[in-house]
Structure 1
Amino acid sequence: MKNIRWIVEKRGPSVGGMTTYVLAAVAGLLTGAGLIIAIGPQNVFVLRQGVARAHVVPVVLVCAVSDVVLIVAGVAGLGALVSAHPAVVTIAKVVGGIYVIVLGLMAARRCLRSSEAIVTNAGEANTVSRWAAVGMTLALTWLNPHVYLDTVLTMGAIANSHGNGKWAFAIGACVASLIWFAALGGGASRLAHFFESPRSWRILDAVVAVVMLAMGAMLIASV
């Protein structure tokens, strides 16, 4: 018994430290999910690419890797740098807002097309080159000021509140991002058979247009 007690006492601190890291990782997973799972330009774009089965893997990878980079940057202290230079966020709001509005107008135009033209939406998505799809994904990700406010500032502040467990928090948040985008892109591709009719594409593009135009207007109005 004395030997067992000695082992427990000897390992107690390490077990407590491990628990701290696990709790921090779980907190990161839940926080990451809460901030990432929201209707926005990036998620809507991933959804549409998934439904069209067009370059889903590179689009998902760009989103996930970008999130990982931003989360790590926030935990490492980039949030403080962004806070010290608010002009960066202002520029991102204006440029990002204009870009998102343009995408919203393009979606609205697709929605108002004839039924014959709407049927070709999936085909048009596939005719876009892989690099063009990647470029649009990068723009929707890095020109979105909410990325810096939520992922960098908020996530960084919460992570650093966990002290030594901040990197465990970051790992949990990164895992949440990977799971979400993989599920969104892969799950959307399974809905492709529902979009064989022009009406389905019209509804999807209408939703895309409303979200994009609203988000773009909100970004510019917040300057």
Structure 2
Amino acid sequence: MQPFFTGLMITGGLIAAIGAQNAFVLKQGLLKQHIGLVVLLCWLCDVVLIALGIFGTAALLAGNPAASALLALAGSLFLLAYGAINAKRAWQGGGHLAVNTDAAAASSLKTATTTLALTLLNPHVYIDTVVLIGGAASSFNQTGKMLFLLGSLTASACWFVSIGFGARLLLPLFRRERVWQVLEGLIALMMFYLAWNLLQQALALLF
């Protein structure tokens, strides 16, 4: 089950970052407006992009251990940098999530369009899903990739359902700087651990 938990952790760590998409999901949850639609669309986007990353990247790297090793090494360095940023935020503080709930209700079509735009027009989402998550899964066999995908999609579903349907309970916590410091610190530790695993994979492929 290691691929499952690796997918669960790496996706959970990446998806929890403060961003416009998470703020929008929280806002819809607070307003109780089309939250089921928003959560479903966010998760379906992850299904498509993460599957593309895991299996598309694998197809490109098939039979090329050197390329697989380089991608794993790049992913390790990216995770180290990402973890360092989270560690700095955890140490310095200042993070919080502000959500404006005064906006008028939007139609389901407009809500769906906004959700897709916030998700698919963000270049970082492709780095996370197609490159980083896909690269992290590249060393697993076909069964391992399926377990990795299941872990990734489980993390995605749990996150969006939690912040969407649990928004009224979670927002007071997300507005507290100390909560974000703890969250950033946990993400940093997770990223460092995953970076070490990827580095080991890269070295094993190279040597």
In the alignment, the residues of structure 2 paired with residue 148 and residue 132 of structure 1 have an alpha-carbon distance, to the nearest angstrom, of: 23
In the alignment, the residues of structure 2 paired with residue 157 and residue 52 of structure 1 have an alpha-carbon distance, to the nearest angstrom, of: 38
Q: TM-score scaled by structure 1?
A: 0.55
**Structure 2 residue 55 is matched with structure 1 residue 76:** yes
| 4+ long deviations beyond 2 Å | 78-81, 189-192
Deviation (angstroms), 1:161: 1.8
Aligned residues: 135
Corresponding residue to 1:167 among 142, 146, 149? 146
2:23 counterpart residue number: 44
In the alignment, the residues of structure 1 paired with residue 116 and residue 19 of structure 2 have an alpha-carbon distance, to the nearest angstrom, of: 14
The one-letter amino acid paired with 1:174 is: L
Is the partner of 1:38 in helix, strand or coil? coil
Structure 2: gaps (5+ residues): 61-97, 176-207
Deviation (angstroms), 1:72: 0.3
1:147 counterpart residue number: 125
| CA separation of 1:191 and 1:25: change in aligned 2, threshold 3 A | closer
Structure number, greater radius of gyration: 1
In the alignment, the residues of structure 2 paired with residue 133 and residue 183 of structure 1 have an alpha-carbon distance, to the nearest angstrom, of: 19
Is the partner of 2:157 in helix, strand or coil? helix
Q: Counterparts in 2 of 1:196-207, with a 5 A limit?
A: none
- What do you get for the CA RMSD once the two structures are aligned? 2.6
Q: Counterparts in 2 of 1:50-65, with a 5 A limit?
A: 50-65=29-44
Deviation (angstroms), 1:158: 0.4
Q: Counterparts in 2 of 1:7-26, with a 5 A limit?
A: 22-26=1-5
Quick one: percent identity of the two aligned structures? 45
Deviations 1:196-222 (A, max 9, x none): xxxxxxx9xxxxxxxxxxxxxxxxxxx
Structure 1: gaps (5+ residues): 1-21, 82-107, 112-117, 195-202, 204-223
Structure having the higher helix fraction is: 1
